Every structure is written in C-alpha cells, then in structure tokens.
Amino acid sequence: MAAAVFGAADLPRSEVFLESLRLRLGREAHHLLSWKNIKTHAQRLEAAAGLATASEWLTISAVVVCKPFLDIGGIRDADAAYLYTLRFLLERLSWIARDREAILRYTLAHVVRFRLAQLRDYEQRLARIPTKIHWPALDPRGGMIDQPKRIQQLQIGDLAASAIFRAFEPDQYGRPEPRYLQELAPALYRHPPGQAHFVRPQDAPVEWRDKSNLPMGH
C-alpha cells in the first residue's frame, strides 16, 4: 500500500505532472494511468522513474506487508488485512504532516465492497488504542474514498504501490525486480531521514536479504 503526498499548493503541479507522464508513456490526454494498463516492462520502469522526477514536491510513503504472515497472525479477512496495513501507512502519513507542521487530509482509492462507514469505524477504533499515529496532524474529519478517474492524483499512488509490489513479489520465474524500487528511491519517504525500515520473512528473495542491495539503506 502506498500514498502520494503533496501540499495543496502543488495540486495544479500534480495535474501537469500526470499529463507529462502520459506523454512520456505515449498515452492520450486524460488517459487513466494504472499499472495494469501499462503493459511493457520498459514502460513500467519509465513510470517509476517518472515518479522520482517529481521528488521536489512529491513524497511516496509505502508499507510492504507479507500476506502469508498476516494469515499466520489470524488476519485472513481481506478487509481486515487492508485496514491493518492502512494503520501503518496512517502512522507514516501523520509523521510527514507533523514534521511539515501541516494537517493532512487523505483519500483512498475505492476498493470493491469497502464502504466509507467501515473506514470511519476503523479510524474511531484506532483512536481508542495505542498506536504511533500522530492524530493532531490528521484532519479530524477523517479520510475519504474516491475513484482514480475522478481524483486523478490517486493514479500516482496506484503506480507507486504497484511498482513497489513488483520490486518484492517474484515473477513467474522466481525473480523480483529491484529496479522498480531503485528508480523510485528519490521520492520515497524515509523515517528517520536517510533510512527506511523493512520487515521481511527469512525466506524473502535473496536480493532483499543482503542490505547492500537495498537502494534505501536500512
């Protein structure tokens, strides 16, 4: 799961950026930029590299989850796994806003059968338990849910999440593609600065076991 973070003043900039990325990928104006619509490996790498060019105003924050370990922990329901991952992403989003002395308002891309009422209920549950979320930095009205066709900035999050997923998930021949993560690295959020933290099982692809192969450090 990944989020594209930028200031309200950069909203017009994000729209210009998406149009320029469509041109780089040979897409028509206002074409829906989603990973599944970008078919070739070369174009997908170009999309990841394109996101990195926006690092002056764009920050990508991501949480990588090993789903089999969620199953072992008893989190087998798809909505529960989604919300559990969202919790850790909200922590990081709140830290970004806190450090920038800003109030963050977030919008999730619509997921089939996931309702806004479920999000509100989960936010309220999180507020009642110990977490690392810095609540004063989040808009008290809570998050929203919308479609990438209507809120085109959600397309940035989709591209980032998919690129990071492919960096960790082996292909049909058992190989992950670390270049996606390497291309994205300039735009990725690190906490503390200069470091990123990965929790990965011992049977993770060998490319990620050796820390020297990680483009983001820790």
pLDDT digits (tens, 9 = 90+) for 44-58: 999 999 999 999 999
CA torsion through residues 117, 82, 54, 156, sign: negative
Write down the pLDDT at residue 73. Answer: 57
Query: Please, what is the average pLDDT of the chain?
Result: 86
pLDDT digits (tens, 9 = 90+) for 53-78: 999 999 999 998 877 766 655 666 78
pTM confidence score = 0.85
pLDDT band, very low/low/confident/very high, at 193 (cuts 50, 70, 90): low
Rounded CA separation 86/93 (Å):
10
What pairs with residue 107 in β-bridges? Answer: 144
Smallest CA-to-CA distance from 105 within 117, 116, 90 is with 90
pLDDT band, very low/low/confident/very high, at 200 (cuts 50, 70, 90): very low
